Structure 1
Amino acid sequence: MPSWTRTFVRYVDAFNYRVGRFAMYLLFVLMGVMLWSSFARAAFTPAIWTDEMGQFLLLGYFMLGGAYSLQLDSAVRMDLFYSRWRDRTKAFVDVITILGLIFYLGVLLYGAVESTAYAIETGETRRGLWRPYMWPVKTVMCVGIVMMILQCTSIFFKDLAKLRGEDLS
């Protein structure tokens, strides 16, 4: 494989690893927000921002951790036949299926960018008492999708190298 491929794989994997490890700790922030919500409701002064903030933190956790999950190969896979195949057969099937995933993520990114642009242009806010702006959350969603596309491309190159008898890991 060309040297630029190795460099691309190394940088994408390193970046997604660091962001994924950061996203992992968002779960603790989410727990803190939900704990604050419980205390506030017990004191009969409910905070109007905690439910939506919890949803936003969960979205960030999910979207920013998606590429990390792909990198660790912890995504769900139908393992009826896959576990019995040789490594080269697995790599061949993964090359085909990752292209479908990249297409899906591309369509998802197109919709997310359109939605983010609309949110920025119109100053879209969420309905409810707190009424937070939606563009920061939608921007995190776009960043997460781009990270997953880059990680899928890295996985594609690794599987292609495995088919050629090389190792990019």
Structure 2
Amino acid sequence: MFTERVGQIIFFIIPVMIIVGVVNAIGRAIGAFIGQTLVSNSLLETQWYAFSLVFLLGAGYALKYGEHVRVDVFYSSWTPKRKALIDFLGAVLFLIPFSIIVIVVSIPWVSNSWAILEMSGDPGGLPRYPIKTMVIVCFVLLIIQGISEAIKNLAVLTGAKDQLEEARHGADIAI
């Protein structure tokens, strides 16, 4: 449910990103034509922030729906249990530990950014500390979704998912 809410947030960020991108492109084209600067650094950075938010917040959402990168040439022909085993091991051995490492390494970087209230190096640019914080948020969300996926895959491996589906199917018939 939480991941769904994050997906809804992304749903609203994407049009903002597109609109800001179009305004930037049109502003630069018209500005070049008339010899004036019509696009500010803050507008350019807003587009960059929106893209970053879509990517960072969308990582856990993509994981939930299996939209992340895989070697589908092999994966698509595997049995559900083999897929579950690979996904379980991938989450437990790679995704979760890597996410923890990124969080630990990022904390001093983000803390320093907050301590100095880091701003963009460009005139009229936006603060950097909020977007840097989203790196940690992204990997926390990935850990949460990774644990969820590991539990689901463990249920497939142990047969608990089949039992749950049978129980649900039986309940549907009884109603």
The reply to whether TM is greater than 0.5 is yes
Q: How does 1:43-58 map to 2 (within 5 A)?
A: 43=31, 44=36, 45-58=38-51
1:74-103 Cα offsets, whole Å, 9 max, x none, are: 111112322222211211121111121111
Indicate the structure (1 or 2) with the bigger Cα radius of gyration: 2
TM (norm. structure 1) is 0.84
Structure in which a larger fraction of residues adopt helix = 2
2:75 counterpart of 1:82: yes
Return 5+ residue gaps in structure 2 as ranges: 166-175
Q: Which residue of 2 aligns with 1:104?
A: 98
- Which AA in structure 2 matches 1:30? M
Aligned counterpart, 1:29 = 16
| Higher relative contact order structure (alpha carbons within 8 Å, sequence separation ≥ 6) | 1
Take 1:46 and 1:90, find their aligned partners in 2: how far apart are those partners?
49
Give a deviation string over 1:33-72, Cα, whole Å, max 9, x none.
1222234332533223121111111000101111111111
Residue matched to 1:3? none
Question: Which deviates the most, 53-62 or 29-38?
Answer: 29-38
Normalising by structure 2, we get a TM-score of: 0.81
Aligned amino acid, residue 156 of structure 2:
K
Alignment RMSD (CA, Å): 1.8
* Cα distance in 1 for residues equivalent to 2:25 and 2:80: 50
Indicate yes or no: 2:132 matched with 1:145. no
The gaps in structure 1 that reach 5 residues or longer are 1-13
Alignment length, in residue pairs?
A: 156
- Aligned residues: percent identity? 26
Q: Of the candidates 93, 102, 122, which is equivalent to residue 86 of structure 2?
A: 93
